[in-house]
Amino acid sequence: MDDVLDQINHGQLQKGDKLPTELCLATKFDVSRTCVREAIKSLEAMGIVQSIQGSGSYITNTPELSINRPICALFALSNGTLENVLDLRIVLETEVCRDIIRSASDAEIARVCALADYDYIGTPLDQQSVLDSQFHNALMHMSHNSLIKYIYTTLASLMDIYRERVLEKTWRRDENALTRAGHFAICQALKDRDEAAAADAIYNHLALIGPYRKCLIEQNEEDEKIRQFQEVSYENI
């Protein structure tokens, strides 16, 4: 069913579209109808497909949304932190870089690394975030593991929430060069086919973000308390 999921992800199959019959799918993928039936049941369990007796099976959702919504809800209800997101990103991105080093061509690596070659100076903050996301998304979509890509899409959604709530309050101009240097270090490790260097580059790029942001947030909150105290003091003079 990976081919069906790919067609959904690329817009070839959209919400409301009817899947081919079990016989057609079995013939296309050279499997038994029982295998097709079990695969459709799995898609139903994921909330991607709905089967209507006497009518057929229909696309009801995308894989990303089917996975994203419950995980994001659970994350919020469990008081998940930015550090939780970054820890999982480190694990996933390290594994994907190993996969890239072992199987990707030089041309494929060059294409993803071209996304790291941009100039942050003078670029608006929201555009910087987009460029950063494009680089990491391109890395993850070179994975041959579709589940990793779906999980990373969920992490990207959580990072978007984080960016909206935190990034604008804590971003510093000197981070532009650090982000670019981090991307270059990852790319150099990929080009050198050095798995250990890639793991180190990803860790150095991501692991310190959480504590750094937390420190800045706490400092901003403390500055705000001081400002409010000063305003009250001035009013009482």
Q: What is the CATH number of the domain that holds 97?
A: 1.20.120.530
Please state the rounded mean pLDDT for residues 97-113.
94
Which token pair is 177? 């060069």
Identify whether residues 71 and 136 lie together within a single domain: yes
Q: Sorting pLDDT into bands at 50, 70 and 90, what band is 123?
A: low
- What per-residue confidence (pLDDT) applies to 219? 56
User: Could you tell me where the DSSP H helices lie in 18-124?
Assistant: 22-29, 33-45, 63-77, 82-103, 106-114
Task: Identify the residue with better confidence: 108 or 157.
Answer: 108
Identify whether residues 50 and 85 lie together within a single domain: no
Query: What is the count of structural domains for the chain?
Result: 2
Stated length of the chain: 237
Residues spanned by the domain of 44? 2-61
Please state the rounded mean pLDDT for residues 145-157.
80
| pLDDT of 118 higher than 70 | yes
Which token pair is 42? 């799995």
- Contacts of residue 5, Cβ cutoff 8 Å, sequence gap at least 6: 48, 63, 146
Identify whether residues 16 and 113 lie together within a single domain: no
| pLDDT of 97 higher than 90 | yes
Listed residue (215, 193, 188) closest to 204, CA to CA: 188
| pLDDT of 191 higher than 80 | yes
Please state the rounded mean pLDDT for residues 215-231.
57
Identify whether residues 37 and 135 lie together within a single domain: no
Asked if residue 221 is part of any domain, the answer here is yes
Please state the rounded mean pLDDT for residues 142-153.
81
17-31, 45-59, 106-120, 192-206, range with the lowest pLDDT: 45-59
Please state the rounded mean pLDDT for residues 1-26.
74
Identify whether residues 45 and 71 lie together within a single domain: no
Identify whether residues 69 and 57 lie together within a single domain: no
User: Could you tell me where the DSSP H helices lie in 120-208?
Assistant: 125-140, 146-162, 168-170, 175-191, 195-206
- Cα of first residue to Cα of last residue in the chain, in angstroms, is 73
Q: What is the mean pLDDT of the chain?
A: 77
Give the best-scoring range by mean pLDDT among 2-11, 70-79, 213-222: 70-79
| pLDDT of 187 higher than 90 | yes
**81 and 161 Cβ atoms separated by less than 8 Å:** no
Identify whether residues 131 and 42 lie together within a single domain: no
